[in-house]
Chains A and B, each alone.
Chain A
Amino acid sequence: MRRSVIDPPDVFDVLLAIKPLVMVMLGGLGTIFGPAIGALILIAFEEFVWRNLLTIHAAALGVIIVVLILFLPNGIVPLLRERLARRGKPA
């Protein structure tokens, strides 16, 4: 399909600006693979929500953001790293 018009709300959506931020926070700040993992998880979750709970997909993203900031401020990769380091210590 060819489109001759770029609709600004489609391509310059505010959510589009905030999503990379969420991906990074989800994966892990200051890590290399964190954002990639975060993007994977976020998009997978988003597609799931789009498919099953269409009316509340924005709220789902909001819930992710709030839960991330409150309970997982460093992201997944640093958390896993810490777990691994802790497991390695007693052994």
Chain B
Amino acid sequence: MIYLQIAANGLVLGGLYACIAVGFSLVWGVLNVINILHGTFIVLGSYIAYFAYVHAGIHPFISVVIAGGALYALGHAIHAGIINRVIAAPVLITLTLTFGLDLILNNAMLVAFTANYRSINLAHPLGTLEIGPVFLPGDRVAAMAEHDAADDRAGHAAKPAQHADHEGFAEEAPAVERRNGKDDAQQRPGRARHQRADAEGDRVDAVHAHRDNGAANPAVAQEPP
């Protein structure tokens, strides 16, 4: 039975990581930029959620929108101001560049927030899900099944997953701009890779459809499919 529990835990945590990976894959596939900064952005989004909850009492479920908007602005600024200067260079250059940016942002957050472990303790916890012999923490399940979190069961908090996803979607918008640019030929390999990725999961597919519907509007791009 312990194996079932371990498998369930792995699935739930894996769902969270999958949300993060989808954003990373989008940026890589569409922009052809390996964005090492991705993880630091996710942590920054989590910090926004944490401080919004601790200081302003905003539920993580609501602060997702704030964090998504803020990180969209930051991602767009970094892309337009720094990454676009070397976007035509080989992928290794942009990888190293984002790694350098990652070091800077990482260190800045370390200085600003210290390395203390923090987590949101909800005033109304989600409790534990019990399926036969398997126990699942409610917040993790909510993080995994964030699509369904859009309904009005307001107690459901999915902490970093939503930020991760939002960040991924947010960074997708500059990609749309670039695809309409003059160097479309350069995009073709990335696009092919993206289509390959589509075959692997309908999640990515839905995002793809989103973009094809003219999701240059960040509000549309940020809406979970």
Contacts and interface: CB of A to CB of B under 8 A. Distances in A.
Interface of A: 18, 21-22, 25, 55-59, 61-66, 69-70, 73
A70 B86 CA distance: 7
A62 B103 contact: yes
B192 interface: no
Contacts of B108: 59
A66 B106 contact: no
Contact of A21 (B96, B102, B103, B111): B96
A59 B100 CA distance: 8
Given A25-B96, A62-B102, A65-B103, 12 more contacts: A56-B107, A58-B106, A58-B107, A61-B103, A62-B101, A65-B97, A65-B99, A66-B82, A66-B101, A69-B96, A69-B100, A70-B86
Interface of B: 82, 85-86, 89, 93, 96-97, 99-104, 106-108, 110-111
Contacts of A65: 96-97, 99-100, 103
Nearest to A67: B100
Contact of A58 (B89, B93, B96, B103): B103
Most B Cβ at <10 Å: residue of A21, A61, A62: A62
Contacts of B104: 59, 62-63, 66
Main SS class of interface, B: helix
A35 to B, nearest CB: 15
Nearest to B104: A62
11 contacts: A58-B103, A59-B106, A59-B108, A62-B100, A62-B104, A64-B100, A65-B96, A66-B100, A66-B101, A69-B96, A73-B86
Contacts of A22: 96
B109 to A, nearest CB: 10
Nearest 6 A/B pairs, CB to CB: A65-B100, A62-B103, A59-B107, A62-B104, A58-B107, A62-B100
Nearest to B92: A21
A70 B85 contact: yes
A66 to B, nearest CB: 4
Contacts of B106: 58-59, 62
Contacts of A25: 96
B49 to A, nearest CB: 24
A55 B107 CA distance: 8
Contacts of A63: 100, 104
A70 B100 CA distance: 11
Nearest to A71: B85
Contacts of A55: 107, 110-111
